[in-house]
Amino acid sequence: MTKSEAVWLFLTDLKHRRDTTRRLFEMAKTEPTLVTTYIASLPDNWQHRDDPEVDLLKQLHAVALTAIAERAVSVG
Instruction: State pLDDT tens for residues 62-74.
Output: 999 999 999 999 8
Domain-located, residue 30: yes
The C-alpha angle 19, 22, 24, rounded to 5 degrees, equals: 110
pLDDT in tens, 16-59: 999 999 999 999 999 999 999 999 999 999 999 888 899 999 99
Q: Which domain holds residue 56?
A: 23-75
Domain-located, residue 60: yes
What is the distance, to the nearest Å, from the Cα of residue 9 to the centroid of all Cα atoms in its chain? 23
H or E element that contains 56 = helix 52-75
CA–CA dist 44, 29 (Å, integer): 24
CA–CA dist 60, 35 (Å, integer): 7
Count of domains for the chain? 1
